[in-house]
Amino acid sequence: MDLLAPLLSGLALGSMYGLIALGFHITFSVCGALNFAQGTSAMLGAVLLFTLERTLGWPVLLAAPATIALCGLYGLLVEGLAVRPFLKRRSDAWLMATVALGLVTDNATLFLFGTEPRSLSSILTASSVSLGGASLGVYPLHLLIPVVGLAVAGALHWVSRKTLLGTAVLAVAQNRDAASLMGIPVSAMIAAAFAVSSALAGMAGALVAPLFTIQPDMGVVLGLKAFAVAILGGLKNPWGIMTAGVLFGVVEAASASALGSGYTQMLTFGLVILALALRPDGLLGRAEVRKV
């Protein structure tokens, strides 16, 4: 039983990494740019949910959607301030600009939210799940997170393959100027991509808020792990990203169980390097033909 709990918990954390990483996939698919501060959006999800629910006393069914919407708005801000000015000039400086905006947001949160770690209780973390009288060692929330992650990945897959929007995204990704001439609102689509990507990270942050100690610097490690997961899964493949996320979380939990926490980061990130050396386009990725 002692191995089951860490693995289930790893599954949940891995799905959360996957959800944040899907945000990388969305913006990359549309315009080839990334919000490198996705961890900050996840932190905002947790901090905003705490503020709305605990400080302002909103019911969770209202606070949670409001949190996700606010994170989406933050995504628009990221796009407008740190991405658009550089994409317009065909510059790659959005790379640094998104990191910088993330740091600014982290520190602003430090001022507004305070430095003291807080915690949010939820009915989903009131007691652990038991199956046939034996405790599984995880909260109901742990089981919900992978379900949400898979549902979101599935929805993204469906949108990109089966809808007009998906075709438009493909068009924008292949040739922005041509797409624009065909009447596709390119700027709006890029802005929307950043909003959705930030909202997803916010959703991940809000989902795990009752498990984490909520503090303004909690996003840094999350963002880093999510980026590793996005690259590992292949930036273009939502299923690959969710698979990589789950794999990352489970390997993390398994190595902590087997070796202790001191070796976990060395092992997991070491495996990321190894996996990329063997499959440079990600676990489920396909090599892209680049025409020069």
Partner 1 sequence: MSNPSRRMFAVGSLAVLLAACKGQGGAGPVKIGLVTALSGQSARSGEAITRGLTVAIDEINAAGGVLGGRKLELVRRDDESNPARGVTAARELIHREKVAVLFGGLDTPVARAIVPIASQAKVPFMVPWAAGTAITQNGTSPNFVFRVSAVDEEVDKAMVAYARETFAAKRPGLILLNNPWGESNEKGLKAALAAVGSPLAGAERFEPSDVDVTPQLGRLRAAGADALLLVGTVGPSAQVVRSLDRMGWSVPVVSHWGPAGGRFGELAGPNAGRVTFVQTYSFAGPVTPARDKVLAALMAKYPDIKSPADISPAVGVANAYDALRLTALAIDKAGSTDGDAVRKGFSAIDRYEGLIKTYERPFADGRHDALTQNDYVWARFEGDAIVPVRRG
Q: Which residues bind partner 1 (CB under 8 A)?
A: 2-3, 5-6, 9-10, 13, 115-119, 121, 125, 128, 135, 137-139, 208, 211-213, 215, 218, 221, 253, 256-257, 260-262, 264-265
Rounded Cα distance, 216 and 10, in Å: 23
Contacts of 89 (CB under 8 A, 6+ apart): none
Smallest distance, partner 1 to C-beta of residue 198, A:
22
Smallest distance, partner 1 to C-beta of residue 167, A:
40
Could you tell me if 194 and 187 are in contact, meaning their C-beta atoms sit under 8 angstroms apart?
no
Place of tokens 């959360």: 16
Cα atoms in the 13 Å half-sphere on the side-chain side of 17: 32
Helix spans in 51-139 (H): 60-78, 84-88, 94-113
Q: Which CB sits closer to partner 1, 153 or 208?
A: 208
Q: Which CB sits closer to partner 1, 13 or 152?
A: 13
Smallest distance, partner 1 to C-beta of residue 121, A:
7
Place of tokens 């795990």: 208
Hey, what amino acid is at 226? A
Q: Tally helices (H) and strands (E) across the chain.
A: 12, 2
Smallest distance, partner 1 to C-beta of residue 213, A:
4
Q: Which CB sits closer to partner 1, 10 or 234?
A: 10
Distances (CA, A) of 31 to 37, 190, 192, 219: 17, 7, 11, 24
Q: Which CB sits closer to partner 1, 201 or 208?
A: 208
Smallest distance, partner 1 to C-beta of residue 3, A:
7
> 3-state DSSP call for residue 130?
strand
Q: Which CB sits closer to partner 1, 13 or 82?
A: 13
Smallest distance, partner 1 to C-beta of residue 257, A:
4
Q: Which CB sits closer to partner 1, 183 or 260?
A: 260
Smallest distance, partner 1 to C-beta of residue 136, A:
9
Could you tell me if 241 and 5 are in contact, meaning their C-beta atoms sit under 8 angstroms apart?
no
Buried b / exposed e over 30-42, threshold 16 CB at 10 Å, is: bbebbbbbbbbbb
Q: Which CB sits closer to partner 1, 79 or 252?
A: 252
Could you tell me if 5 and 137 are in contact, meaning their C-beta atoms sit under 8 angstroms apart?
yes
